[in-house]
Structure 1
Amino acid sequence: MTPRIRRNAACALLAAVPALACATDGATPLPRVMVTARIDSAPAFELPASLDAIDLVDSKRAQVNLSEVLGGVPGVLARDRQNFAQDTQLSIRGFGARSTFGVRGVRLYADGIPATMPDGQGQLSHFALAAGDRVEVMRGPFSALYGNSSGGVVQLWSADGTDPVQADFRGTAAHYGTVSASARVRGFAGATGYHLAASAFDTDGYREHSAARRESANLKLHRDFDGGGRLELVGNHFNAPHAQDPLGLNRAQVRADPRQATAAALQFDTRKSVGQDQLGASWRQPLGRTGQLRVTGHGGARDVVQYLAVPVAAQASTLSGGGVVDLDSTYGGMDVRASWQGQAGAGTLEFTLGASADRQRQQRRGYENFVRDGGATTTGVRGALRRDQRDVVDSFDQYAQAWWEFAPRWSLQAGARHSTVRFRSTDHYVNAGNPDDSGGVEYAQTTPVAGLAFAVHEDLRLYASAGRGFETPTFNELAYRADGGAGLAFDLRPAVSRNLEFGMKWRKATGAALEAALFRADTDDELAVARNSGGRSSYRNVGRARRQGGELSARLPLADAWSLQVAATWLDAHFRDAFPVCAGTCATPNAMVAAGTGIPGVPQRFGQVRLQWQDAAWEAALETSAVGAVPVDDRGTESSPGYGLLHVEAARTWTPGRGRLRGFARIDNLLDRHYIGSVIVNEANGRFYEPGAGRSLLLGIEWQP
């Protein structure tokens, strides 16, 4: 991150503080709502959609990866890669499973600020779990109302300030040289609420060449004004210097030593450095007695430098982009929406109308990952420039949504979004062997959705919903043409899906709850890898695909101190059309994928069961998680084996004086099973597998004065 960007971000935040300080006192804090649903008139239980909220209070984990908290959400597969140079592997109902880095097919937000760029590529690394209050997850057709690449929606929300002031300090230590520390303070300065949190994380890594460090800070300011207005400001800083990348292993390497790094990782010192700063602001203002206006804006910058294991010989091609990726990105956007509530017919009507615009500017440079000095070649260092381009992607969306309780037991939710996404690339690296690759492309799509809910009785709802979604290629997927020629792959088309869901929701005043859903998503123009050659991946549209299955979640109080939580998913994801691919590293597709072949990265079954006991001072839990076999390539030639893991945790709370001291412990993989924690889909060298960690003990302590 450049000093100029840091300076501007800090100044913008500090300049806003006086505006907060001049507001009047005495406003009542707004109640918590399921913000992801974008419906204020009804709780999530009344809506025809799959919605979950995960409380982050009293976590017994390191608070580093989002995979720590999403295991209890059906349909969501969040896999810890034991590789901090890559993000958590996240998919929802099979969308996003093909991503080899970052997050694809799922929309991400942190305190309302998009963590998914306009092209659909998202990042989770800067999510400040230490500052988190809750995570909200939406699955199914209504996710399409968030626009491009919304096979599901995940939002992290940080907590408001408190009165009186609250502070807590937290530290953990675990196997493999892993330590973390965090501190946060929440309070009010006058009538301005604040929440400041900071954390640091260090690990030597479970595998060789997988050490990493992460530092983050998050500040939230909020102010309620006379008349019902509310202003929120959020600033976020993230730094991850030199996270080592051990790369994937093949089957033989996993059997020989699952903790080893690939030889190429050591040869080229594969690693990644990330720095990110961002600011966001949100204003909510009542419009008369029945309306409300919401305006949000954000801006930020993200710098990434990544060293890849591209063989020196592969970079001899005049079209090679080298083996060192250097990305300087700035991004920003705004969302404006107005909503009205009132009576219509027999019940309540809420209507929302809005528009959003986002832009990402990216300077992409590529360098050779070696230097030559006389007859000697040194790898893993930045060499000659091989790529220099300026990329811009813009999106402009308009949307409308309504929820209507049109009869005593019936309600309808419906909406539509029209999205326009524009890509432009300007090539500044042009020579006799590398022609000008400049160009652009525009995609546009309208995504309608509707759902109907029926109240069988006070504690039971049945619903059905249907809609359409779409997913454009990202700039990374546009980077290389499938035919190996010069220029970007502007012939790629967006994947368009048709989504159906049928579900039920049941609850009791005792706290018991049960939810189940059946779903299907049929996709046209599915995007998949066309060829891998010389460290480059290119993509093509491969026809039709289907993702269908069922989900079940339950929360069951068993006795005064006992409770049981269950999350289970069955998922069938497959290609419906045959298409050609490369068998390994090749220039021309030389093998066929048969219709009916499973989509890689998607297990047919996965779930979690958690049994918990808690009294006034002690708490303990037994947790088991299971994942079925996972295909690793389009042809279905290999799969990672399924596995089941057992975890235990315990905590004890003391209240000396006016403070609160809490100690906790957790053992992951109690039986020390060998398993594949995640896979690298379609890895050209057959190094598909990222082994999960063995038995690991985590100890932690938390102090609230």
Structure 2
Amino acid sequence: MEVEMAPVEVTATPFRIANESASFSASVRTRTDQAINSTPSLSLEEITTGLPGLSVQSRTHFALGDRITIRGFGWRAQFGVRGIQMTLDGIPLTVADGQSVVHVLDPSFVRSIEVIRGPASTFWGNASGGVLSLSTRPSSNAAHTVRLKQAVGSYGLSKTDVQVTPNLGKHQLSVYSSYLTQEGFRQHSDTRLLRSGFTSDIVLGDARGLRVIGALQYMPRADSPGSLEEETAQQTPEQARETILDFDVGKEVTQGQLGATYYDELSPGTLNATAYGIVRDLENPIPFNVIDLNRRAGGVRLTLDNQTSSVKWGVGVEGKLQHDERMEFTSDGGAPDSLLIDQ
């Protein structure tokens, strides 16, 4: 039996990230709604596993941040993230001294991840190791949606996520918030963490607009159980060190950031002008001492880029400011006592 069919024409359209071809070394991952809704996403490690060139190691409790490296850069950092540049919705998370603190972002709301390596990363200044760019912005054609997710687990884990994306026509707005509580497997591992944020895009004309984003972290409690000797860890791995309990070691952190980007398609090329500010207050009891840090940071960034059939070019200028007030006290059971250092 023979059947003759009409010709079938198949047209393949290549997928482009940000409407650009892969002209530089980069790894990109876009998370679908199904992936966002079905995974707890308690740490960056869960959503970045498998991205070439990127390694994220979760410390499993929030008194210590994730260790993030790109091609090995950043592994020397004892705290925070150093040696690479990080951005959230186009706003830098990296301050002037090269440190990035990432707990202000909630992995549950991250929709796209981009890792830029090689010479292209030098466009971001001191990012010698590369750039990790994360975005929480929903798709431009998203309808009015409300998303609620509840995750529960062992050792007192509970996390509630809420996200609202109204339909504003040509404009965009997305508001999100989450609250996490966790007792932890080990003694003295309690965590209380509230994170909120928003992204917006205000269209001012053809290919011209203003993006405003904000993020807030309030962590009133993040206990640290400390390390144990090998024999103790094998016999009673759930206990905390006695010294840790005596000095109530942990963190209390409040951090907020606000930024805006004006973009415009001009005859020379695409203009992006960004300004942002970061506020961070930290109280950090450690064995024998208590550290109190108040940080005020910010910056501006101006870029112009364009491309022809044979050349792609970009120029930019960036300036950053950072002011830290750091005091160190003797510890009275985890409470500040006598002032030792004021700098």
* TM-score, length of structure 2 as denominator length: 0.89
**Following the alignment from structure 1 to structure 2, what is the Cα–Cα distance between the partners of residues 56 and 387?**
49
Could you tell me whether the CA contact under 8 Å between 1:184 and 1:198 is conserved in 2? yes
SS of 2:62's equivalent in the other structure is coil
In the alignment, what sits opposite 1:297?
275
Residue 380 in structure 1 maps to residue 342 in structure 2: no
Task: Return the letter of the residue paired with 1:223.
Answer: I
Distance in 1 (alpha carbons) for counterparts of 2:223 and 2:106: 21
Could you say what the CA RMSD is over the residues aligned between the two structures, in angstroms? 2.0
Post-superposition Cα deviations, 1:270-326, rounded to whole Å, max 9, x if no partner, equal 0101101111101111112x621111111120111100013xxxxxxxxxxxx1110
- Equivalent residue, structure 2, for 1:517: none
Alignment of 1:524-603 (within 5 A): none
Mapped pair 1:66 → 2:44: yes
1:360 to partner: Cα distance: 0.9
Q: By percentage of residues, which structure has more strand? A: 1
* 8 Å CA contact 2:164, 2:175 repeated in 1: yes
1:585 aligns to what? none
Are 1:365 and 2:327 counterparts?
yes
> What amino acid maps onto 2:336 in structure 1?
R
CA contact (8 A) 1:128 1:218 kept: no
Aligned residues: 326
Give the AA of the match of 2:301.
D
**Structure 1 residue aligned with 2:73:** 95
Name 1:259's counterpart in structure 2.
Answer: 238
Equivalence for 2:104: 126
Q: Which residue of 1 aligns with 2:63?
A: 85
Contact 2:104–2:256 (Cα < 8 Å) also in 1: no
Q: Aligned letter for 2:305?
A: S
Aligned residue identity for 2:189: S
Counterpart of 1:221 in structure 2 is 200
Mapped contact 1:366–1:388 kept (Cα < 8 A): yes
What is the percentage of aligned positions where both structures have the same residue?
Answer: 28
User: Quick one: distance in 1 between partners of 2:264 and 2:235?
Assistant: 62
Q: Secondary structure at the match of 2:320?
A: strand
What residue in structure 2 maps to residue 507 of structure 1?
Answer: none
Q: 1:163 and 1:101, CA in 2 relative to 1: closer, same or farther beyond 3 A? A: closer
**Contact conserved, 1:82 with 1:206, CA < 8 A, in 2?**
no
1:201 counterpart = 2:167: no
Deviation string 1:428-463 (CA, Å, 9 cap, x unpaired) is: xxxxxxxxxxxxxxxxxxxxxxxxxxxxxxxxxxxx
1:56 & 1:125 partners in 2: Cα distance?
Answer: 22
Residue 224 to residue 209, structure 1, CA distance change in 2 (3 Å) = same
Contact 1:217–1:238 (8 Å) recurs in 2: yes
Q: What is aligned with 1:647? A: none
Q: 1:56 to 1:124 in 2, by over 3 A?
A: farther
Partner amino acid for 1:294?
N
Instruction: Identify the residue that residue 295 of structure 2 maps to in structure 1.
Output: 329
Q: Counterpart amino acid of 1:193?
A: Q
Partners of 2:17 and 2:324 lie apart in 1 by 33
How far does residue 249 in structure 1 lie from its aligned partner after superposition? 2.5
Match of 2:90 in 1: 112
Match of 2:226 among 247, 267, 275: 247
Establish whether residue 355 from structure 1 lines up as the match of residue 333 from structure 2: no
Q: Which amino acid aligns with 1:138?
A: I
**3-state SS of the aligned residue for 2:123?**
helix
Amino acid aligned to 1:362: D
Task: Give the C-alpha shift of residue 228 in structure 1.
Answer: 1.4
**2:10 counterpart residue number:** none
Do the aligned residues in 1 keep the contact of 2:209 with 2:263 (CA within 8 Å)?
yes
C-alpha distance in 2 between matches for 1:188 and 1:366: 49
Evaluate the alpha carbon distance shift between residue 163 and residue 112 of structure 1 in structure 2; reply closer, same or farther with a 3 A threshold: closer
CA contact (8 A) 2:291 2:328 kept: yes
User: Secondary structure of 1:217's match?
Assistant: strand
1:383 alignment partner AA = D
Q: Distance in 2 between matches of 1:83 and 1:56?
A: 27
Q: Which runs of 5+ in 2 are unaligned?
A: 1-14
Q: In 1, Cα distance between the equivalents of 2:166 and 2:81?
A: 34
Amino acid at match of 1:329: R
The amino acid across from 1:66 in the alignment is: L
Note the residue ranges of structure 1 that are not aligned, 5 or more in a row.
1-31, 311-322, 371-378, 390-705
Query: What TM-score does the superposition give when structure 1 sets the normalisation length?
Result: 0.44
In structure 2, the residue matched to 1:234 is 213
- Per-residue Cα deviation, 1:633-672 (whole angstroms, up to 9, x for no partner): xxxxxxxxxxxxxxxxxxxxxxxxxxxxxxxxxxxxxxxx
CA displacement at 1:380 relative to structure 2: 2.0
- Report the CA distance shift for 1:260/1:150 in structure 2 as closer, same or farther (over 3 A): farther
